[in-house]
Amino acid sequence: MNRIKIVKGVVAVNCHPEGCKEMVRQQIEDVKSRASIKGAPKNVLVLGGSSGLGLASRISLAFGGSANTLNVSYERPPTETETGTAGYHNNLAFQAFAKEAGLIAEDFIGDAFSHEMRSKVINYIRETLGKIDCLVYSLATGVRPKSNGEGKWKSALKAIDNPFTGNFISFEPEAMIPVTLEPANNDEIEATIKVMGGEDWQEWIEVLKDADVLAHGFKTIAYSYIGSDITYPVYFGGTLGKAKEHLHATADVLDIALSDISGQAYVAVCKAIVSKASVFIPGLSTYILALIKELKERGEDESTAQHMHRIMHDFLYNPEGVSTDEHRLIRADNFELNPAVQHKVKDMIKNINPSNYKDPAIGDYETYRQQFSQINGFEVEGIDYK
Ligand code: NAI
């Protein structure tokens, strides 16, 4: 098993299992050092809980709220020659730490879009937990099998109406490359909504409700990104934004559908983080490395675990109620969208180009790069890589 970091472009070919475990441990310790969640859910299902915002949600609710957690994720186990994916090792690490803490933690590896997976999860809930009090929807993927079994929807990362050129940062070879996204056609917009919109979230809630495994007062949350005018053409104004608009509308549909069990459904608008999904988005990489620098300088840079714990503690499980904007969205992107921050970020981005993007004076590429390494278990403090 090769444990030397191998990256192609922005894809980590391998991971470092001990590094992944240590990263999970550090996030758990961080959450444990913060205020615990009052009225936290007892039993939680996380869809997409092996990495990024989903893993952070699981850590927050388990270690900041003593919740039992089930997680459905699509990850590859190790073989004799390969390490498997970081998410696979994150799951193993989380399970070990949760069990040590006396919590139930179960992982289902496979396709969250399949009927078989839904049945398996429902059976497990019935046999082990009875009901769940919370469902976190945090899948990020480019494909979704069609429900009739005939082919797949493939999402498109594209602009709408006009082409968009943004910088894509490759880690190996290290380079900043301008990439132009063509405007999407209607089929591509439709397919992206199918993959990353709210339909699958709604289906999960409906089958779980029909199976009578949702507890009274059940809550569900999914994650969105809106960003600012800098990221608008590639994100909220592009195909992904159309999918997120659908997700936002789905929260309202679900909120009504859950009213008979006093349930609630929300979307939280999160800050931009370095994740295995976000590093693919042209234009977003330069934006994130400038954002990291500015938020760090202001002392407002949150790790993924800290960000998610704030969402759970201050918003979703706030004893005084869930505060939202006028569109019923939880706005946890407030530090990022502060006009003063955006102004500085815009100034930095204006000066970033392929020959200077690593310069610490105009952005924080080093942290951006290191965070990518760390989500794959490399460059983690406390691990002896020799
Ligand atoms: P991630 O790539 O770190 O995690 C995605 C998760 O989905 C993993 O657990 C993966 O195993 C799981 N998954 C993917 N396909 C699956 C399938 N077919 N069956 C079962 N599990 C599957 O992604 P990240 O960045 O944490 O994104 C999660 C959500 O948060 C997405 O909706 C994303 O749009 C949203 N978001 C992300 C932001 C960012 O900056 N990364 C900012 C705001 C929202």
DSSP string, 198-213: SHHHHHHHHHHHHTT-
Is this prediction's pTM over 0.85? yes
In the block, residue with structure tokens 């990263």: 23
* Ligand 1 contact via 238 beta carbon (within 6 Å): no
Mean pLDDT calculated for residue range 190-215: 98
- In this predicted model, what pLDDT tens digit does every residue of 269-303 receive, in sequence order? 999 999 888 898 988 999 999 999 999 999 999 99
| Amino acid 4: pLDDT | 74
Choice among 137, 223, 225, 235 that is catalytic: 235
Looking from the CA of residue 85, the nearest atom of ligand 1 is 11
Count how many residues are written for the chain. 386
Neighbours of 161 (CB within 10 A): 10
Structural domain spans, the chain: 7-375
The answer to whether residue 212 scores a pLDDT higher than 60 is: yes
Kindly indicate the confidence band of residue 354, based on its pLDDT and cuts at 50, 70 and 90.
Answer: very high
- pLDDT for 94: 98
Segment 147-158 mean pLDDT: 91
Q: Is the CB of 198 under 6 A from ligand 1?
A: no
Specify whether 368 is catalytic: no
The CATH number of 7-375 is 3.40.50.720
Report pLDDT digits (tens) over 15-48: 999 999 999 999 999 999 999 999 999 999 999 9
Distance CA 282, CA 181 (A): 8
Nearest atom within ligand 1 for CA of residue 143: 18
Region of 321 on the Ramachandran plot (φ > 0 left; ψ -120 to 50 alpha; else beta): left
Q: How confident is the model at residue 147 (pLDDT cuts 50, 70, 90)?
A: confident
